Structure 1
């Protein structure tokens, strides 16, 4: 296996799946920063297990996306090639998941808040993808929706515990919310890739998830004493391959072994 970066043929179904897979992959990578550093042992283990669930979801979708790419006239790639041999501009994850957590300015409140926002989004998306016209995607979703349901419940419990806790924990949750909220609109932007997925039955457009997402968050926010921020004008662009300054540093760590020792496996 070469260390050279791979290139992908433009395919809207592959891009749709990569947007989901990359979001799960990069979110998992960020959560692993807590391994050995959790506030309590039980939470250290819980965050590691959530990261492993997300990694499994990413692996399944990347494998399938690589097969679809091959069937469409391009090269067939495996999960490792797609995870470790793409350049930064070829990743399609939500910008929110690449922002630092434990390292680089975030704290445990940022992790709790981000897990809540994303787990709710993932749960609603996986629920819809169970009806995908692609049988493999539907099968992946059938397992993943159960994991996302647990992730959401776990994050919601911590959000209430911190938001309705001490003055310090409540202030940290409010600050975490202000840091994350500008990146939320990207979660629900729909474009030609979404339109093609909707038309083919592959999956929903992301804009279809927003009202249900807000409805599920509202009671949690109320119990956690958190006010839903107003929408801003800023729009992040990670799903289109234009990322923050943080992703490149993360990929340098993620890709180092594969690029130094091509084809290496555990």
Structure 2
């Protein structure tokens, strides 16, 4: 007879994972000839960190959005980004295992979760734009518009990457990002052309976020899209200098430290936690 204790021993899973199977199971993760493994891993790590951190930020809106429809929409966008993060961090770990934090040998933590939960803020390579506090709904919409428009173009370019794993992640992700961009663009225009107060909040958000947006390596195609959205919203692009450190080299705000303290607290307190 098999009792509950046997089931726990024989079918134990790490308590803080996002799933119980390798997200790249069955996929050939061999780095293609001619592709620099370290460069590929760094690219995946940066994009994975972007998605992970913004996903955590957006999840903070759960039960707090202006109405139920937007509450569900923001939660689903957060889940989309979390899925992208898991795949990208797993690919980074497979391409360059040295990136993964060293944990006890008997730890059940998957590589992508080790990267998410057991690195300090200075080891994250996300853009600062992703880590900033949510602010009000107008600021969240504006940040999502800037981020998703930029990320969508990055993914459009990555679908032809020589690494078929990264190319497949990009092909899947661009469909999600198209929705993220359209959702945020619709709300950006609605708020900017709504009441005097909603417009004031949008303009305040644009001014606050623009230095971090300007710090990104923005393809020309993204500028064209934003010009169309800003024109429809009757919003002028601010003339402000870019922030000095966009986050790629590990320079972050105190907001990321606080976010990680919340996100990682249980995993770090119980690194061998099983259920």
Alpha-carbon contact 1:119-1:148 (below 8 Å) kept: yes
For residue 65 of structure 2, what is the aligned residue in structure 1? Answer: 38
CA RMSD across the alignment: 2.2
Structure having the higher helix fraction is: 1
1:81 is aligned to 2:110: no
Question: Which whole-Å CA distance do the structure 2 matches of 1:74 and 1:243 have between them?
Answer: 20
1:177–1:126 distance in 2 versus 1, CA, 3 Å: same
Unmatched segments (≥5 aa) in structure 2: 1-13, 15-36, 104-109
Unmatched segments (≥5 aa) in structure 1: 2-9, 189-208
If you compute each CA radius of gyration, which structure gives the higher value, 1 or 2?
Answer: 2
For residue 126 of structure 1, what is the aligned residue in structure 2? Answer: 155
Report the secondary structure of 1:238's partner residue: coil
For residue 152 of structure 1, what is the aligned residue in structure 2? Answer: 181
CA deviation vs aligned residue, 1:147-190 (integer Å, no higher than 9, x gap): 000100000100010001111111100000001001012221xx
Alpha-carbon contact 2:101-2:118 (below 8 Å) kept: no
Question: Which whole-Å CA distance do the structure 1 matches of 2:211 and 2:98 have between them?
Answer: 38
1:265–1:149 distance in 2 versus 1, CA, 3 Å: farther
Question: Which whole-Å CA distance do the structure 1 matches of 2:155 and 2:93 have between them?
Answer: 20
For residue 91 of structure 1, what is the aligned residue in structure 2? Answer: 124
1:256 is aligned to 2:273: no
1:49 is aligned to 2:76: yes
1:73–1:140 distance in 2 versus 1, CA, 3 Å: closer
Number of aligned pairs?
234
For residue 139 of structure 1, what is the aligned residue in structure 2? Answer: 168
CA deviation vs aligned residue, 1:20-62 (integer Å, no higher than 9, x gap): 1101110111001100001010000000000000000000000
Shift of 1:223: 0.9
Shift of 1:118: 0.6
TM-score computed with the length of structure 2 as normaliser: 0.80
For residue 50 of structure 2, what is the aligned residue in structure 1? Answer: 23
Shift of 1:71: 8.4
For residue 168 of structure 1, what is the aligned residue in structure 2? Answer: 197
Question: Which whole-Å CA distance do the structure 1 matches of 2:80 and 2:202 have between them?
Answer: 25
Alpha-carbon contact 1:69-1:75 (below 8 Å) kept: no
1:64–1:233 distance in 2 versus 1, CA, 3 Å: closer
TM-score computed with the length of structure 1 as normaliser: 0.83
Structure 1 moving runs of 4+ over 3 Å: 71-77, 263-266
Question: Which whole-Å CA distance do the structure 2 matches of 1:14 and 1:92 have between them?
Answer: 12
CA deviation vs aligned residue, 1:65-112 (integer Å, no higher than 9, x gap): 0111138999796110000001111100000111111xxxx1000000
CA deviation vs aligned residue, 1:109-145 (integer Å, no higher than 9, x gap): 0000001001101110111110011010011111100
Shift of 1:11: 3.2
Residue 90 of structure 2, aligned match among 42, 48, 63 = 63
For residue 226 of structure 2, what is the aligned residue in structure 1? Answer: 217
